[in-house]
Chains A and B, each alone.
Chain A
Amino acid sequence: MDDQTCPKCKTTKYRNPAMVLMVNACGHALCESCVELLFAKGSGSCPECKIPLRRNNFRVQLFEDAGVDKEVDIRKRILKEFNKRQEDFPTLREYNDYLEQVETIIFNLVYDIDTTNTNKLIDNYKKENKDIIQRNKNRQSQEEMELEELLESEKIQQKEKAELYVNAELEEKKQKHKAREKLIDELMFSDADAKSIVASHVQATAAIAKDQSKLIASGPPAPAVVKSNKFSSGVQIGLRGSQSSFLPIPKQEDLPLYSYTATVFDYNGPTPPAIEMLGQLNYFANIRAASAAERAGGYTEALSCCRALQEAMGGLFYCPQSSHKTTVAMVAEEVDDMEIT
């Protein structure tokens, strides 16, 4: 960066370390003092390409190559509009074609090739894809989300681990200190043989060390709540991004466990024979037997026979005392059912 030179006043970074180069939309650099001098009125023309420029648009040159600054500037502007994602395309191929088209537009703008047509193209695109652009503006792409997640989990993990190990180390130190004090106390006050005391101490410390290393090896004792925001299938949990947002699942209170009780039907008529009894009662005599193909699917002639009997007998003793309206509705429902079956 030391060989930076202002093209106007020829100041170099070496001679004036405080010099800062600025660039504008055209990608030509000027040092800060030149900008102040030339654009005192707030607007003027670039000394190199004579393009009219505004002073407000000058910003600090970030890259060594001013051309890259210009390109990135244009790119950011274009990508604001051209923000379709891979999800918006049916195939990868089309997405790639789209990417290339975007790249060509940017390239043309940067190197001033066929500017008029390109601008027209951009305007057309904007008109055509207004709603997609709007929608995608607030939406993060899958990749970005993945990265964010990674970063977050990294942060959490780091914190946890650091704490864990600091604590473990402190604990170990404490233990050691305690053991030593205990040894000294024992040596001072106990009557036993000093050698045996020392030996037992050595054993005890070895045992503690082993425990410690095991503890560490077994990882965090109670793995702090792992914050996962994904199901195992990769589906997002929660409302991050604006993925077609689901309502939060209502919280269920702890209800008593469900247990099955057989339902009791009120047929409003004579009880139809049970399904197991049909064969014995010789109902199948006049029914077409189920074919092999039908049986494969789990269908037996008993099923339809039983259903027909239930339908035939159900409601025979029904007295139309209740309101007429409900019956009509029920009939209508039944018709629907039959059509479906």
Chain B
Amino acid sequence: MKLNVDGLLVYFPYDYIYPEQFSYMLELKHALDAKGHCLLEMPSGTGKTTTLLSLIVAYMKAHPYELTKLVYCSRTVPEIEKVMEELRKLMDYYEKEMGVEQNILGLALSSRKNLCIHPSVSKEREGKVVDGRCYSLTASFVRSRHAGDDSVPICNFYEGFDAHGKEFPLPPGVYNLDDLKDYGQTKGWCPYFLARYTITHANIVVYSYHYLLDPKIAEVVSKEITKTSVVVFDEAHNIDNVCIDSMSVKITKRLLDKCSNSIQILETTITKMKDNDSKRLRREYERLVEGLRDASVARETDMALVNPVLPSEILEEAVPGSIRNAEHFVAFIRRVVEYIKTRLRVQHVVQESPAGFLRDIHTKVCIDRKPLRFTAERLASLIRTLEISDLTDFSPLVTISHFATLVATYTKGFTIIIEPFEDRAPTVSNPILYFSCLDSSIAIKPVFNRFQTVVITSGTLSPLDMYPKILDFHPVIMSSFTMTLARPCILPMIVSKGNDQVAMSSRFESREDSAVIRNYGNLLVEVAAAVPDGIVCFFTSYLYLETVVSSWYDQGIIDQLQRHKLLFIETQDAAETSLALVNYIKACDNGRGAVLLSVARGKVSEGIDFDHHLGRAVLMFGIPYVYTQSRILRARLEYLRDNFQIRENDFLTFDAMRHAAQCLGRCMRGKTDYGIMILGDKRFSRADKRSKLPKWIQEHLKDTLCNLSTEECIQIAKRWLRQMAQPFSREDQLGISLLTLEQLQSEEMQKKIQQQAQAM
């Protein structure tokens, strides 16, 4: 279908289009025209990806100089693959319509673990090990050693790429990870480096958030992307947490013990090198004296260690004299490690600012701020000089060096928290030092400054106005789209009391109350009796899940439940959970029906879709507030309050509601799908919580569906299910929630869409 979006010819690879897709395109086009950032919320299952891709590709074709590149950031590998599939469909459509090959190159990039084709390295399962082994085969010094001595192993694929790959660019087309691997196999080139090299001239790049947000990686991978690019963050409802994680460091006792070992290795290597090849050390030393940046760093394979701070913060200065000499530096880092060890030997929780830490480290072990800032860079230089090819041993030391550099660079927006034990087990000594970033805008700021358009989109971004505040940017467009539906296929309900009129709530005071737990149990049993196939329940935490399940067992609720459906439980163990999931799906598929008990913020709530019969009902037991006693959270709340004028309660509610919405959204993956959403907490019906749900859920949450008791809820659900069970064909949707080209162009529809756009 060829569309006219505000004067732009857009090729859309399907015969039908949803009205909200069209208005999404309109808004997106306005943002691109204005060269500004935008924030768009559209329900999951309405074809966000294909809408985004078709509009941006059309825009690139129409304005080849104003918009040169699309960088599409997604969260997981399966999501990246999905995007590539949509892109392929779009390109096929272009080809069919225009009859000529398209000159557009789209590719996916992932870690070495997913792209390696080296026969033995690719067998490794852990990402870090793959990276380390790759480095040991492709580092420039290993290759130069190989030139003199054939017994030194190298990677033939990388050699192939290095010899020929750069001259012959990848032919236009769409390459997902497997395509890249196949291409690499046939040519004998390393797909990973090929992809990284190709990023600079590809039109569409699809990769993970971290390649752009984490300064450790962004510097290496995304350095040469031009300003005239549009960056899309899909599924971005957790983007602030990603930003924060990329700048935070966690140091445990074990890590420090391992550090001591790595320092030993460094020391012995230095002495060995001094005996054999003192020239190299000498050369490095001289270079540092001159204050020159390492010219040979340009070798792409060597950049296994990089500076953790943002490019704008890196000091363009010579390394200070006190850590110039290799031996001095080793003594220096040993002092840092020993100092942190003493800091970890605390009996009570300590919280201090980076400034306080710097002053303390100065008085205790005489370390100034400047050398501390250069730690990461100096360590990288030393490891390169020593030609250490196995980097896996050094990862603890690298962590420490990152910590040192960060703490000396940033004095604002960070905090240091030292906890001698975990809150849950106060008798077991397990000291941990958290260097925590409090300000999510720090990491994302360079992205906003660098690119002309940044699109933040997800199925659940409500309340929209919170994101510009916490990420500190000014969007030109901020819109939330609802889902036009031919039938009311979602049924949100707020159940606030049981049949015995006892209020249901996961409030701290009533959490342990057996009446509340029993009411939750009864609700689940009744829902299980009324709803076919799969039911997913979300609890607020693993701890709460466990206590509730054990009381249900005592109260006989589990037995009642198992009369209707099988029961599966998510645990903290990933393997166990995936096994439970497989069996849950099996039980749903063969009609037995199943109940999955899982946890908001857990693995199930974040990445797994329960479409159609896998999730006919979602139950939310309580409001998923984050654990508020955590000191990191407290510090962050205070920071937000002081610097962004966001009140603690507002942020907590925002965070809880976005996770609740994320959980509820699990059961709706398209317009033919239908599902019940039950919010089991009386606090949900308050205006401040209700108004924070996404618009597409709020729309269906009428006043008559709030404040129900279990009985009423079941009645409504039964009636609704009977309605939904009627056959539903495409013809029912056509003209309302699904449009052909003619329908879209009809004036009536255009007017409606205009109105919708204005309303926002």
Asked if B641 contacts A161 (CB within 8 A), the reply is yes
Given A143-B368, A143-B370, A217-B645: A99 touches B322 (CB 8 Å cut-off): yes
Does B338 belong to the interface (CB within 8 Å)?
yes
Closest to B260 in A: A65
Interface residues on A, range: 35 or more
Residues of A within 8 A of B167 (CB): none
Asked if A107 contacts B328 (CB within 8 A), the reply is yes
Of A146-154, A180-188, A257-265, the one touching chain B: A146-154
Measured CA separation A2–B693 after assembly (Å): 52
Q: Which of A100, A143, A154 is within 8 Å of B328, CB to CB?
A: A100
Asked if A144 contacts B355 (CB within 8 A), the reply is no
Measured CA separation A79–B345 after assembly (Å): 27
Asked if A151 contacts B366 (CB within 8 A), the reply is no
Asked if A143 contacts B369 (CB within 8 A), the reply is yes
Q: Which of A72, A101, A147, A148 is within 8 Å of B366, CB to CB?
A: A72
Q: Which of B323, B331, B366 is within 8 Å of A79, CB to CB?
A: B366
Does B359 belong to the interface (CB within 8 Å)?
yes
Q: Mark B338-350, 1 if CB is under 8 A from A, else 0.
A: 1101100100000
Asked if B342 contacts A102 (CB within 8 A), the reply is no
Of B99-107, B313-321, B397-405, the one touching chain A: B313-321
Does B751 belong to the interface (CB within 8 Å)?
no
Given A103-B328, A147-B355, A147-B359: A93 touches B641 (CB 8 Å cut-off): no
Asked if A96 contacts B366 (CB within 8 A), the reply is no
Asked if A165 contacts B641 (CB within 8 A), the reply is yes
Residues of B within 8 A of A79 (CB): 366
Asked if A104 contacts B325 (CB within 8 A), the reply is yes
Given A75-B366, A143-B370, A161-B641: A151 touches B355 (CB 8 Å cut-off): yes
Asked if A96 contacts B368 (CB within 8 A), the reply is no
Asked if A72 contacts B364 (CB within 8 A), the reply is yes
Taking the closest CB of chain A, its distance from the CB of B418, in whole angstroms, is 15
Q: Which of A64, A99, A107 is within 8 Å of B321, CB to CB?
A: A99
List residues 190-230 of chain A with CB under 8 A from any CB of chain B.
213, 216-219
Taking the closest CB of chain A, its distance from the CB of B412, in whole angstroms, is 9
Asked if A219 contacts B342 (CB within 8 A), the reply is no
Residues of A within 8 A of B370 (CB): 143
Residues of B within 8 A of A102 (CB): 322
List residues 342-398 of chain B with CB under 8 A from any CB of chain A.
342, 345, 353, 355-356, 358-359, 362, 364-366, 368-370
Measured CA separation A64–B317 after assembly (Å): 34
Closest to A218 in B: B645
Asked if A216 contacts B355 (CB within 8 A), the reply is no
Taking the closest CB of chain A, its distance from the CB of B252, in whole angstroms, is 15
Does A92 belong to the interface (CB within 8 Å)?
yes
Interface residues on B, range: 35 or more
Residues of A within 8 A of B358 (CB): 147
Residues of A within 8 A of B364 (CB): 62, 72
Measured CA separation A110–B362 after assembly (Å): 19
Taking the closest CB of chain B, its distance from the CB of A221, in whole angstroms, is 13
Q: Mark B285-328, 1 if CB is under 8 A from A, else 0.
A: 00001010000000000000000000000000111111111011
Q: Which of A92, A100, A147 is within 8 Å of B322, CB to CB?
A: A100
Residues of A within 8 A of B76 (CB): none
Measured CA separation A65–B330 after assembly (Å): 14
Q: Mark A58-75, 1 if CB is under 8 A from B, else 0.
A: 000011110010011001
Q: Which of B338, B345, B369, B645 is within 8 Å of A68, CB to CB?
A: B338
Measured CA separation A76–B362 after assembly (Å): 10
Does A57 belong to the interface (CB within 8 Å)?
no
Closest to A101 in B: B321
Asked if B321 contacts A144 (CB within 8 A), the reply is no
Residues of A within 8 A of B647 (CB): 213, 216
Measured CA separation A46–B223 after assembly (Å): 58
Asked if A71 contacts B345 (CB within 8 A), the reply is no
Taking the closest CB of chain A, its distance from the CB of B355, in whole angstroms, is 4
Taking the closest CB of chain B, its distance from the CB of A100, in whole angstroms, is 4
List residues 625-655 of chain B with CB under 8 A from any CB of chain A.
641-642, 645, 647
Asked if A72 contacts B328 (CB within 8 A), the reply is no
Provide the main secondary structure of the chain A interface: helix
Measured CA separation A79–B318 after assembly (Å): 22
Q: Mark B693-712, 1 if CB is under 8 A from A, else 0.
A: 00000000000000000000
Measured CA separation A310–B641 after assembly (Å): 71
Measured CA separation A46–B104 after assembly (Å): 77
Does B518 belong to the interface (CB within 8 Å)?
no
Measured CA separation A97–B109 after assembly (Å): 45
Closest to A75 in B: B366
Measured CA separation A97–B321 after assembly (Å): 6
Max chain B C-beta neighbours (<10 A), residue from A98, A147, A148, A216: A147
Asked if A76 contacts B338 (CB within 8 A), the reply is no
Residues of A within 8 A of B642 (CB): 157, 161
Does B411 belong to the interface (CB within 8 Å)?
yes
Asked if B318 contacts A93 (CB within 8 A), the reply is yes
List residues 4-46 of chain B with CB under 8 A from any CB of chain A.
none
Closest to A95 in B: B321
Residues of A within 8 A of B250 (CB): none
List residues 81-98 of chain A with CB under 8 A from any CB of chain B.
92-93, 95-98
Does B335 belong to the interface (CB within 8 Å)?
yes
Residues of B within 8 A of A65 (CB): 260, 334, 338
Does A1 belong to the interface (CB within 8 Å)?
yes
Measured CA separation A65–B334 after assembly (Å): 9
Closest to A94 in B: B321
Measured CA separation A92–B288 after assembly (Å): 13
Given A72-B365, A100-B324: A63 touches B355 (CB 8 Å cut-off): no
Q: Mark A129-167, 1 if CB is under 8 A from B, else 0.
A: 000000000000001100110110010010001000100
Asked if A71 contacts B368 (CB within 8 A), the reply is no
Given A93-B318, A104-B325: A216 touches B645 (CB 8 Å cut-off): yes
Taking the closest CB of chain B, its distance from the CB of A265, in whole angstroms, is 59
Closest to B370 in A: A143
Asked if B355 contacts A107 (CB within 8 A), the reply is no
Given A96-B289, A157-B642, A165-B641: A150 touches B411 (CB 8 Å cut-off): yes
Residues of B within 8 A of A93 (CB): 289, 291, 318
Residues of B within 8 A of A72 (CB): 335, 364-366
Closest to A150 in B: B355
Residues of A within 8 A of B325 (CB): 100, 103-104
Given A93-B318, A102-B322: A144 touches B328 (CB 8 Å cut-off): no
Measured CA separation A150–B327 after assembly (Å): 33
Residues of B within 8 A of A62 (CB): 342, 364
Asked if A1 contacts B641 (CB within 8 A), the reply is no
Closest to B327 in A: A107
Max chain B C-beta neighbours (<10 A), residue from A68, A79, A154: A68
Measured CA separation A107–B328 after assembly (Å): 7
List residues 219-264 of chain A with CB under 8 A from any CB of chain B.
219
Residues of A within 8 A of B341 (CB): 63-64
Given A68-B335, A151-B359: A92 touches B318 (CB 8 Å cut-off): yes
Residues of A within 8 A of B260 (CB): 65
Given A65-B338, A71-B331: A99 touches B320 (CB 8 Å cut-off): yes
Q: Which of B318, B338, B369 is within 8 Å of A96, CB to CB?
A: B318
Max chain B C-beta neighbours (<10 A), residue from A64, A97, A148: A64
Taking the closest CB of chain A, its distance from the CB of B288, in whole angstroms, is 9
Q: Mark A100-127, 1 if CB is under 8 A from B, else 0.
A: 1111100100100000000000000000
Asked if A154 contacts B366 (CB within 8 A), the reply is no
A sample of 12 cross-chain residue pairs with beta-carbon separation below 8 angstroms, ordered by A number, consists of: A63-B338, A63-B339, A64-B341, A65-B338, A75-B366, A93-B318, A95-B321, A96-B318, A96-B321, A99-B320, A100-B328, A147-B362
Chain B interface residues toward A at CB < 8 A: 260, 289, 291, 317-325, 327-328, 331, 334-335, 338-339, 341-342, 345, 353, 355-356, 358-359, 362, 364-366, 368-370, 411, 641-642, 645, 647
* Other contacts beyond A72-B335, A100-B328, A147-B369: 12, CB < 8 A: A63-B339, A63-B342, A64-B342, A72-B364, A76-B366, A93-B318, A97-B289, A104-B328, A143-B368, A143-B370, A144-B362, A147-B362
